[in-house]
Amino acid sequence: MAKQTLFKNEQCEWIDVEAPNTADIQQLNSQYGINRLLLDDTIEPNHLPKFEEQESVKFFLTREYIETDRHNLNTISDISTKLSIFILKDIIITIHRTKNKSIYEYKQELTKTNEHITPDRIALKLALKVMKSYDDENKQLLERMDSLENEIFLKNTRSSNLIRRLYKIKRKAALSSRLLNISGEWIREFKKLELTESEITDLADKHKDVIADFEHLNGQAANLIAMFLAFSDQKANQVMKLLAIYSVYFLPVTFLAGVYGMNFHNMPELTQKYGYFIILGIMALIVLGTFIYFKKKKW
């Protein structure tokens, strides 16, 4: 267990715990009196976001967005990692399984701020960082989707790799929307902390904005996939149409060739001096007439 004190003054102590095991959980339980079941939730990889309060301990289980290159995007662990926050009287304890970007960024900001620091305010800042992780990813996904849209409409790309990239964006957007909607539970519980109304409203507004952005992204990705498939079908239809037109050109010609290839003895045309050239001319007229007809019909 990598346990360290990130901040400490007379009113507040911030303790950070990275990658705890079972023995570390037992130590935290003994030292701080935190319920063992709550601590067990911090090491379960796929646990959903939630809020619980037991006696003097407030527990926020959040999930921060992480960028991954996984081929399968089936669970919330494929796009996010847990950040658990325990608030005691004058102590805040954060627990996470891997390096956490939100904690690193806020730790750097703490060295430059002169504002009054409390466990509740640290929890608020971390919650805002968690929401920011989704906001940053939403912007990146939008840029990728704009690039894919240009490939579809301007470069006329129809590769199977493109549809896979579009589907990956849609899966990320759908999973993120699900996570953010569930996160509303612990977001609402920030009203129980000693924070100003404006600070709580700011967090709630940020949460709503990110949800709206991902729902919009999910819808846009679904529309783009549908348009891509429609264009692919249209291209296939054009190919089938072209093949059908060529078959119409050669169907009557093939019929004539079949008739005069039967080799019956009583076929007067076979004895004509210019019969071969007459038949070729008739074939050419049929093809030319068919072409003129299709041209007038704009087929």
State the pLDDT at residue 116. Answer: 85
Assess contact for 244 and 165: CB atoms under 8 A. Answer: no
Torsion angle, alpha carbons of 134, 135, 136, 141, to 10: 80
* Per-chain mean pLDDT for the chain: 86
Mean per-residue pLDDT for 101-116? 86
> In the chain, what is the straight-line distance between the N-terminal and C-terminal CA atoms, in Å?
73
Give 167's pLDDT tier (boundaries 50, 70, 90). confident
Confidence at 239, pLDDT banded by 50, 70, 90: confident
Cross-strand pairs, 87: 58, 92
- Asked if 93 contacts 28 with a C-beta cutoff of 8 angstroms, the reply is yes
Query: Smallest Cα–Cα separation from 8: which of 118, 83, 95?
Result: 118
Strands 13-18 and 91-96: parallel
Percent of the chain with pLDDT strictly greater than 90 = 44
Q: What is the pLDDT of residues 268-284, one digit of tens each?
A: 776 777 777 887 888 88
In sequence order, the 6+-apart residues with CB closer than 8 A to the CB of 124 are 190, 193, 195, 199, 203
Query: Which sequence spans correspond to the domains of the chain?
Result: 2-234, 235-297
- pLDDT above 60 for 1: no
pLDDT band at residue 157 under the 50/70/90 scheme: low
Q: Is pLDDT larger for residue 98 or for residue 120? A: 120
Q: Tell whether the model's pLDDT for residue 231 goes beyond 80.
A: no
Q: What is the pLDDT of residue 48?
A: 92
Which CATH architecture best describes the domain 235-297? Answer: Up-down Bundle (1.20)
User: Which is nearest to 39 in space by CA: 29, 53, 51?
Assistant: 29
Task: Given CATH 1.10.520.10, say whether it is the number of domain 2-234.
Answer: no
14: helix, strand or coil: strand
Whole-number pLDDT of residue 214: 93
